[in-house]
Amino acid sequence: MAIASSTSEWSAFEVPFWTEVVPRLSDGKIKVKLSSITELGVPGSQMIKLVRSGVYDVADTVASYAGEDIKVLDALDISGVSPTIEDIRETTAAFMPVIQKTLREKAGTEVLASWPTTGLVFWCQSEVTKLSDLQGKTVRVFNGVLADFVSGLGGSPVSMPFAEMARPCSAA
């Protein structure tokens, strides 16, 4: 089970890794049935629970999705702390021992890999040139950390999983 199929990570990394690289490196011994949370209708917040319970063997999740149950994961996605990919790599590497220990103890799972993802982008119909322009706007968010960030800027966050955001945004 992997991230939303509407993301660039899905088509550029997830699909080729699981359907081409893993079978090739295992000489065909590992067969993968890959499904995205979009097609399964699974909220990102449920991914670690589903692996822990044995429903899925492996899951790829955005840390802040799982942060709903394991709050320490939110530390990997604090808005504005790591503005560049290099900063994200550095902070993630520094904090990874805490993440690994917490996931082992609280969820009975292991971190197999991590990689930085794209930065936050706000898509707006009206012009936004500075953060204060978000004041008074209703902003769709996909995690608690982003909701806190938007609230701090004077906006009104509306929580919505990333997989569900593509449809309303494309209709606008």
The pLDDT score that the predictor gives to residue 21 is 95
Of the candidates 167, 160, 150, the one whose C-alpha atom is nearest the C-alpha of residue 45 is 160
Q: What SS3 class is residue 33?
A: coil
User: CA-to-CA distance for 122 and 167, rounded, in angstroms?
Assistant: 15
Backbone angles phi, psi at 85, to 5 degrees: -60, -40
When pLDDT is cut at 50, 70 and 90, the band that residue 73 belongs to is confident
The 10s digit of each residue's pLDDT in 124-163 is: 778 889 989 999 999 888 777 888 889 999 999 998 665 5
pTM: 0.70
Domain ranges of the chain: 8-107, 131-171
The pLDDT score that the predictor gives to residue 142 is 75
Provide the mean pLDDT of the chain.
83
The pLDDT score that the predictor gives to residue 96 is 93
The pLDDT score that the predictor gives to residue 56 is 86
The 10s digit of each residue's pLDDT in 99-116 is: 999 999 988 888 888 877
The pLDDT score that the predictor gives to residue 154 is 96
